Amino acid sequence: MSEVSQSTPQPASDKDRILIFDTTLRDGEQSPGASMTLEEKLQVADILDQMGVDIIEAGFPIASDGDFEAVQQIAGRVKRSVICGLSRASAKDIDRAAEALRPAERRRIHTFIATSPLHMKFKLNMTPEQVLQKVTDSVTRARNHTDDVEWSAEDGTRTEHDFLCRCVEAAIKAGAGTINIPDTVGYSVPEEYFALISMLRQRVPGADDVIFSTHCHDDLGMAVANSLAGIRAGARQIECTINGLGERAGNAALEEIVMAIRTRGDVLPFDTGIDTRMLVRASRMVSTVSAFPVQYNKAIVGKNAFAHESGIHQDGMLKNAETYEIMRPEDVGVSQTSLVMGKHSGRHAFREKLVALGYQLGENAFEDAFKRFKDLADRKKHVFDEDIEALVEDEVAAAGERIRMIALTVISGTGGAARATVTLDVDGRHETRESHGDGPVDATFAAIRKIVEHGADLMLYQVSAVTEGTDAQAEVSVRLEENGKTVTGRGADTDTMVASAKAYVSGLNKLMTRRAKTAPEALRAG
């Protein structure tokens, strides 16, 4: 499946252009439980490319064969954005990143090493002089593979200024074109980050010939503010993620940065190349594939971001929308009405709706989706855009999975233990098991566990409604943990138990992929 471009030509502008470097697929995917399948990563890469992201950090190729393959496939598929791969400062890492990036039309190697006293002493066990030598060696090696090299000073905001200047100077001399100053632990405040970028630009020889970049984490809730302070100080690249996904509290949220720049051009005289009308779609896709729900009151893309409940606000809005709205909902891709169709809608209308939502399916995928739409319309009076999106995303998430849900019957109520009978397709073989449980979810999961044996603990079970009404589709997320590794699964259906079973199965599929990387026999289907 590939997406349809909805981007419009950017108006000519005399404002300074800020490069948007998206790291949803690398730093974002690193957050516990947010791992994505290859198919999901390709979908995310497509949407990032279409929305105008300048650089896509597609992964960390040395980390695993799965990461390598994802970077390689994204590199071979994306035509517009620069594709970037991360590497530590070792030759092996850098060469592996270069190999994964080979199919890309435009490629970047991003190499990093920690520069703060704390990290050098306790993590790297290296002296500052050794680290400095590594900076030169790693950038030089990366430059042998590509002209486009980015160097990062991990824990840059807690690094001594004199030493940071020496490292940046060494990276520039060795040929790095982008210098990234991460606030790795989200410790900085805007004034301090502004001063740091300004200091580097003033003091380091050759600073005028490179692009400075921000990479801010959100541990104190200041990632976006710090990134904006960075560009006011002269940085011209911002590293960020959709929905602010990322290690611990996450990274700076792409949608917030882009809309802050667009909305407050008076104090932030910059431009990005992002088609803002795709922000909500990208947010939903990333939320779906990572199974990280977007909080209702999240800026820009939360369900309530444009909702007006109080009488005074509604009255103001009716008189003039600008009274309470600083951005137009349609500018971020919120559709005014999302009611689509019902069971009488035909193939043509369904295809048009998919295109309007940005999906272009191949014939087989279209027929599958249409069948599922008809099934849904039989059970649900009104089918909304959100329902169609959940249905197509479900299809995407399930592509290539080894275990699929075939049938489920649950009996539960006040009369005793619940009972579930589940049929799964495991590698093309149908298996049915029955189990009792403490409630319908427990019984369903127990029956699935009888078919797919595993030692994972269920850490989270969460249900939300895709739309309003009692016939709304339920969207279920589960988080499973095994040996300290977490995966998240997701499923949607008008029947909450079916959605739950789908979510559990999707989590098991992810666990299977993850375990196969390290111990192929650890998760048995039996």
Q: Residues in the site for ligand KIV, rule: CB under 6 A?
A: 27, 112, 152, 154, 182, 184, 215, 217
Closer CB to Zn ion, 251 or 283, in the complex: 251
Closer CB to ligand KIV, 20 or 377, in the complex: 20
Q: How far is the CB of 154 from ligand KIV (least distance, A)?
A: 4
Distance of CA 297 to the CA centre of its chain: 19
Q: How far is the CB of 27 from ligand KIV (least distance, A)?
A: 5
- Greatest distance between any 2 Cα atoms in the chain: 78
Specify the residue for token string 């007006």: 308
Residue 340, CA distances (Å) to 40, 105, 281, 409 in order: 26, 39, 17, 30
Amino acid type, 154: E
Closer CB to ligand KIV, 27 or 386, in the complex: 27
User: Could you tell me which of 223, 139, 141, 227 has the C-alpha nearest to residue 186?
Assistant: 223
Token pair for 41 = 């990563």
- Secondary structure class of 415 (helix, strand, coil): coil
DSSP 8-state symbol, 469: S
| Beta-bridge partners for 233 | none
Binding partner at 479 among ligand KIV, Zn ion, none, C-beta below 5 to 8 Å by kind:
none
Residues whose CB is less than 8 angstroms from the CB of residue 524 and which lie 6 or more positions away in sequence, other chains included: 452, 453
Binding partner at 152 among ligand KIV, Zn ion, none, C-beta below 5 to 8 Å by kind:
ligand KIV
Q: How far is the CB of 152 from ligand KIV (least distance, A)?
A: 4
Closer CB to ligand KIV, 114 or 231, in the complex: 114
Decide if 244 contacts 283 (C-beta within 8 A): no
Q: How far is the CB of 294 from ligand KIV (least distance, A)?
A: 22
Q: How far is the CB of 391 from ligand KIV (least distance, A)?
A: 35
* Closest residue by beta carbon to Zn ion: 27
Closer CB to ligand KIV, 25 or 447, in the complex: 25
Token pair for 372 = 């599922």
Phi then psi dihedrals of residue 337, to 5 deg: -130, 135
Binding partner at 154 among Zn ion, ligand KIV, none, C-beta below 5 to 8 Å by kind:
ligand KIV
Question: Taking CA 43 as the corner, what is the angle to CA 37 and CA 48, rounded to the nearest 5 degrees?
Answer: 125
Closer CB to ligand KIV, 100 or 259, in the complex: 100
Binding partner at 488 among Zn ion, ligand KIV, none, C-beta below 5 to 8 Å by kind:
none
> Would you tell me how many other CB atoms lie within 10 Å of the CB of residue 128?
17
Cα–Cα distance between 373 and 357 in angstroms, integer?
15
Q: How far is the CB of 315 from Zn ion (least distance, A)?
A: 44
Closer CB to Zn ion, 114 or 120, in the complex: 114
- Pairing between strand 418-426 and 474-482? unpaired
Amino acid type, 439: G
Specify the residue for token string 């970049």: 213
H helix intervals, 276-339: 279-290, 311-319
- First-to-last C-alpha distance (Å) of the chain: 32
Binding partner at 169 among ligand KIV, Zn ion, none, C-beta below 5 to 8 Å by kind:
none
Closer CB to ligand KIV, 112 or 292, in the complex: 112
Q: Where do contacts with Zn ion occur on this chain (CB under 5 A)?
A: 27
Binding partner at 141 among ligand KIV, Zn ion, none, C-beta below 5 to 8 Å by kind:
none
Q: How far is the CB of 318 from ligand KIV (least distance, A)?
A: 45
Q: How far is the CB of 22 from Zn ion (least distance, A)?
A: 12
Closer CB to ligand KIV, 224 or 456, in the complex: 224
Q: How far is the CB of 26 from ligand KIV (least distance, A)?
A: 8
